[in-house]
Amino acid sequence: MKVKTQSKKVNKSWLNDHVNDPYVKLAQKDGYRARAAYKLKEINETLNLIRPGMVVVDLGSAPGAWSQYTRRCMAPQGAAVGELDGTVIALDILPMASVEGVHFIQGDFREPEVATQLIDYLAGRSVDTVISDMAPNLSGIESADAARMTHLVELAVEFAVGHLSPQGALVVKVFHGSGYSQLVKLFKETFLVVKPIKPKSSRSNSSENFIVGIGLK
């Protein structure tokens, strides 16, 4: 009974925080599907990784907030619809409602069929920036969750190495704790510049963090 009561309290607390979260309200006002858009916005405003004319791939894109923000970066006056100067490709196993100007491929990017669709759409172009807000379903068992997170980040790095231009960049979500130092090490082995970032829009009580790698070694 105590466990259930505690769980209810946690859920109620989370719901209360969510409802009163300024970024949730801002996302609703600005037409973003999730508050996560502001995390990428802060990262981009700091490092200028997404610009008009670029080719950007959003790995694990659903529900689409990062794709929405990216297309606005490539549109005159940051418009959510209309003209687009650049290419945004979103990939996810899950379905995603369309975002105007974003090319969505549903499937596992490790599968040959999906990889072929991506290569065909790129038509010989390199990717300028890969963004990934992917995270596993957490079990609460730290070692298992860390292993799942590490695997996803390793997949994102492998994808980036295969598709990025030499000066390209990769943004991934990570969590502080078991396995974090190994992921930073992997980035330092792969990229010339590595920057861990904790956006203000990432909840302060969360272990969530982001790592940015720029320029392939």
Token pair 């008009």 in the structure block, residue: 52
For the chain, give the number of residues.
217
Q: Which of 9, 25, 173, 185 is catalytic?
A: 173
Indicate the helix (H) or strand (E) that contains 159: helix 142-163
Beta strands, E only, the chain? 55-59, 87-92, 102-106, 127-132, 164-175, 191-197, 208-216
Is 173 catalytic? The answer is yes
Taking alpha carbons only, the member of 110, 103, 97, 21 closest to residue 57 is 103
Catalytically annotated residues: 173
